[in-house]
Amino acid sequence: MTETYFSSIKNTFDQYLRFNRNLNQNTIRNYLNDTETFIKYLELAEFTNFKEINRNTIRNYLHWLITEASPKNIKGKKGYAHQSIARKLSSLRALFSFLLKSNFIEEDPSKQIERAKLEKNLPEVLNVEDINSIIESTDSSKSGLRDRVILELLYSCGLRVSELTAINIHDIDFDAKQIRVTGKGSKQRIVLFGTPGYDSLKNYLSSSRPFLQSRKNDPALLLNKYGERISQRSIQKIVKTYAGKANLLSVNPKPHTFRHSYATHLLDGGADIRIVQELLGHSSPVTTQIYTHISQSSAKETYIASHPRSKLKKKPPPINNSK
């Protein structure tokens, strides 16, 4: 009964997230994985119904996460990191909010739990020279021209990987040197690119993408070797490949490292933090109202004045169509 009951609730929660909440697939997957971890604990503790759960249950669950639980894919490790526990608590709040709205419970026990405090780990940031080394390690082959666009846009636009893979050709305005992207919660924003990004995009679209494109005529900007929209996992591998070519594997940069570097370099260049938040697509109840008072022209002026690759005019490598 226990397994059937909890599994049924989880499936209903899944449907709720997909059709009633404006969330991306990664967020939904995290919520469901965290719910699965919580259900595992409940079954170990011999609970049979969500109505049995109170504040002490959740506190015991958090203690179990810290001391006893075994994270997936990490053999022999006991206990989750503080950041993972904070995320799981956030997922738990979403679950209990759903349970309350759906009348599965009469009171939300997670409201009585203080938010977990995260350890302040600073994000990894590459310096401008390292960024340039990675981008310049691309070659003029068809895949190389595409990969240069990937690296260029990750840094020049501060994109999330999900935003990059979702770009379609018609989202790009070459005259204004800007791209319309869809971020978290399906919120759209405009990101900007400079001359290197412009040149890289033009070279890719004229000398690489036509050879990658299949009969399906996919509108995606970035295509894989099968002519389909490139995956987030492929971009992660591409970043690792060129980090190796630039002898930066010890730094272990990831796609999101380019986004951290983008924001840091803008601030180092004198950009106002509110405009950087707008360009990054960060939103919260506290900051959204501020963003509405910042014009797009102001954001563009700040980008051009502050971002290293908005001004760089280094010529791209010569095009070689023989590969």
CA pseudo-torsion sign 43, 45, 47, 50: negative
**Residues 136 and 108 reside in one and the same domain:** no
Q: Give the pLDDT of residue 115.
A: 59
Identify the active-site residue in 184, 240, 245, 274. Answer: 184
Q: Give the pLDDT of residue 12.
A: 92
**Residues 177 and 283 reside in one and the same domain:** yes
**Of 112, 142, 171, the domain-final residue:** 112
Confidence at 282, pLDDT banded by 50, 70, 90? confident
Q: What letter represents residue 200's amino acid?
A: S
3-state secondary structure of 222: coil
**Residues 255 and 150 reside in one and the same domain:** yes
DSSP label at 139? -
| 229 is an active site residue | no
Residue 119 lies in a domain: no
Cα separation, 305 vs 271, in Å, equals 8
Domain of 55: which CATH number?
A: 1.10.150.130
By percentage, how much of the chain surpasses pLDDT 70?
A: 84
**Residues 38 and 151 reside in one and the same domain:** no
Q: What letter represents residue 35's amino acid?
A: T
C-beta separation of 287 from 160 below 8 A: no
**Residues 299 and 218 reside in one and the same domain:** yes
| 259 is an active site residue | yes
| 184 is an active site residue | yes
**Residues 161 and 234 reside in one and the same domain:** yes
Residue 316 lies in a domain: no
CA pseudo-torsion sign 125, 131, 134, 135: positive
Cα separation, 243 vs 91, in Å, equals 34
**Residues 154 and 277 reside in one and the same domain:** yes
**Of 69, 84, 112, the domain-final residue:** 112
Q: Is the pLDDT of residue 206 over 60?
A: yes
Both structure tokens of 25:
């697939």
C-beta separation of 224 from 231 below 8 A: yes
Q: What is the pTM of this model?
A: 0.59
Inter-residue long-range contacts of 217-225, CB under 8 Å, 24+ positions, other chains counted: 219/168, 219/169, 219/170, 220/165, 220/167, 220/168, 220/169, 221/149, 221/167, 221/168, 221/169, 221/171, 221/172, 222/146, 222/149, 222/150, 222/164, 222/165, 222/167, 223/146, 225/143
Cα separation, 135 vs 152, in Å, equals 7
Alpha carbon dihedral 176, 313, 234, 279, in 10-degree steps, equals -40
> Which of 191-195, 211-215, 221-225 is predicted least confidently?
211-215
| 256 is an active site residue | yes
- Which tens digits make up the pLDDT trace of 102-145? 999 999 988 877 654 444 455 677 888 899 999 999 999 999 99
Number of independent structural domains in the chain: 2
Domain of 187: which CATH number?
A: 1.10.443.10
- Which tens digits make up the pLDDT trace of 232-274? 999 999 999 999 999 887 778 899 999 888 887 877 777 777 7
**Residues 296 and 202 reside in one and the same domain:** yes
Tokens 């022209």 belong to which residue?
297
Residue 86 lies in a domain: yes
**Among residues 265, 22, 285, which one has the least CA distance to residue 126?**
265
| 202 is an active site residue | no
Identify the active-site residue in 148, 160, 260, 300. Answer: 160
Q: Give the pLDDT of residue 314.
A: 53
Identify the active-site residue in 10, 93, 254, 256. Answer: 256
Identify the active-site residue in 148, 259, 307, 309. Answer: 259
| 215 is an active site residue | no
Residue predicted with more confidence, 117 or 219: 219
Q: Give residue 39's domain range.
A: 2-112
